Amino acid sequence: MTDIPAESEKAGFRSDVTVELVKHSAADSDVLWAARVSTAGEQSLEELTKDPERSKGLINFLMRDRHGSPFEHNSMTFFINAPIFVFREFMRHRVGWSYNEESGRYRELQPVFYVPGESRKLIQQGRPGKYEFVEGTAAQHELTGRVMEDAYRHAYEAYQEMLAAGVAREVARSVLPVGLFSSMYATCNARSLMHFLGLRTQHEQAAVPSFPQREIEMVGEKMEAIWAELMPLTHAAFNANGRIAP
């Protein structure tokens, strides 16, 4: 059995998440030509070369009256790096989404783990379905960070010990916690993204309140900022109509 862990295998800790737009085919004009085929037939293709600003009223009408299918004729692929427990919540969103995540069967997982930052509210008050989070004390933040880091180190050392003894990666990974960082590609269209954002972010313009876990909300906020640049009129109509997916 070899000595473990090596210097390069020391655990790292993060309190952030990252989202990168890998590729896209998404613009407000995609909504327009898809909608206008109903009345214009093949002439709706002319919308591809028109300024979408001229047609923002149509986009708002479609959003307001929940004509959803025109918002599906686009695509965005994101590369997301976040804790595993965030991805497990992501997988609840199945309609209009495609996922491919890094595999602990085929590669050795790296020791990067999530530890809440100082801004993360730690204390849950109230009953399930009607509760709120409030700030933790300095002592609670210190305890959370110390205990989590110790547990992560111990788990990763156990993982490395099994790998060094020849145990298969798919077996050894069982000791790793859901606070381990993973990465995945997530592909969606604007309609599926709006549904995700309606549930996984809190917003002052939301007609229906949502209570997401903060860590998946952090991912959602970054995805929304990217999408807002790609489809500004659609994003504005989403907000103006209560952030309810059409």
Report the catalytic residues: 200
Residues 6+ apart with CB under 8 A from 24: 74, 75, 76, 77, 230
Amino acid residing at 140: Q
Strand 75-83 and strand 130-134: the pairing is unpaired
CA 70 to chain centre: 23
Beta strand spans in 84-178 (E): 97-101, 112-114, 123-127, 130-134
- Peptide bond before 5: cis, by omega within 30 degrees of 0? yes
Give the Cβ contact number of residue 152 at 10 Å.
22
Tell me the C-alpha distance between 204 and 210, whole Å: 11
Strand 18-25 and strand 123-127: the pairing is unpaired
Residues 6+ apart with CB under 8 A from 131: 124, 125, 211
